[in-house]
Structure 1
Amino acid sequence: MFSKACEYAIRSLIYVTEKSKNGERVSVTDISTAVESPFAFTGKTLQKLVKQDIISSAKGPNGGFYITEEQAKANRLADVVSLIDGNAVFQGCGLGLKICKENQPCPLHQNFKEIRKQLKKMLQSTTVAELAESQATQKTFLNNINRN
């Protein structure tokens, strides 16, 4: 459903948000290791997030990536998906056809239209803070490291 870049961005955001609750700033190395994403790719993705004020960064010996409480509560997953993947996930054809519309639908058009609508609703109503909270309370997991 999402590109690898978008998956890495969401996982990175959750990790950074969880660490920021403890006042920590995290490096690209720490993030890429924790969310199992390529280092260089993670760095580029994080810079996009900083540029759009979804997360923040600081340089220097105590630097790293972090997210403020305001950023975590204000940013919705839809913002991240749109930034990284564009709006194709909200508008694209379920079969990847270039021409797929109401008067010229693909075989999946009607069913996929409803799925896109529900996905958009979920992404617009879910904040980064909510995802980080479920991770922090171990209701969800980013990797198998801490699973019992």
Structure 2
Amino acid sequence: MFSKTAEYGIKAMLYVARKSKGDARAGVKEIAAAIDAPMPFTAKILQELSRMDLIRSLKGPNGGFYLEGRDFRISIGRIVQALDGDKLFTGCALGLSECSASRPCPLHHEFVKIRQDISDTLNRSRIGDCSAALEQELTFLKH
């Protein structure tokens, strides 16, 4: 459903959120290993998330990536939009470059509600809530 960039970005944010609750910071290598992602790709994603002010970073021997209090309220939807743009929320179901209510693809009208439901769900889902569910083992990221 998500691009690999968004998938790894969400997983990285969740991993960093769990580490940040204990006032710890995580390095790129640690994050990449934890989310089963290539290290250079993870570094690029983390750099973009940092540039978009969605994750914090500190350089130096005690440095790494971390979240602050307000960051736990960031929605999954905001992460997806920061990394992938709004294509998931507005794009054509069949990938047509021109698809609208006045010139719809065969699936346009059916997907209007689906896209809105996806947008609503992802914008309601917060990093802090998802992280808490992981800590309580109500959800999981690895088998």
TM-score (norm 2): 0.96
Shift of residue 98 of structure 1? Answer: 1.2
* 1:66 aligns to 2:66 (yes or no): yes
- Counterpart of 1:37 in structure 2 is 37
Q: What pairs with 1:68-147 in structure 2 (closer than 5 Å)?
A: 68-73=68-73, 75-144=74-143
**SS of the residue 1:94 aligns to:** coil
**SS of the residue 1:65 aligns to:** strand
Deviation per CA, 1:59-104: give whole Å up to 9, x if none: 111111110121112x111211111000111110111111211122
Q: Distance in 1 between matches of 2:72 and 2:49?
A: 12
- Counterpart of 1:3 in structure 2 is 3
Shift of residue 127 of structure 1? Answer: 1.1
- Which residue identity does 2:126 align to in structure 1? T
- Which residue identity does 2:114 align to in structure 1? I
Deviation per CA, 1:95-127: give whole Å up to 9, x if none: 111121112211211111111000111111111
- Counterpart of 2:18 in structure 1 is 18
* 1:49 aligns to 2:49 (yes or no): yes
RMSD: 1.0
**SS of the residue 2:141 aligns to:** coil
**SS of the residue 1:100 aligns to:** coil
The size of the alignment, in residue pairs, is 143
**SS of the residue 2:94 aligns to:** coil
Q: Distance in 1 between matches of 2:86 and 2:34?
A: 28
- Which residue identity does 1:49 align to in structure 2? L
- Which residue identity does 2:7 align to in structure 1? E
Shift of residue 47 of structure 1? Answer: 0.9
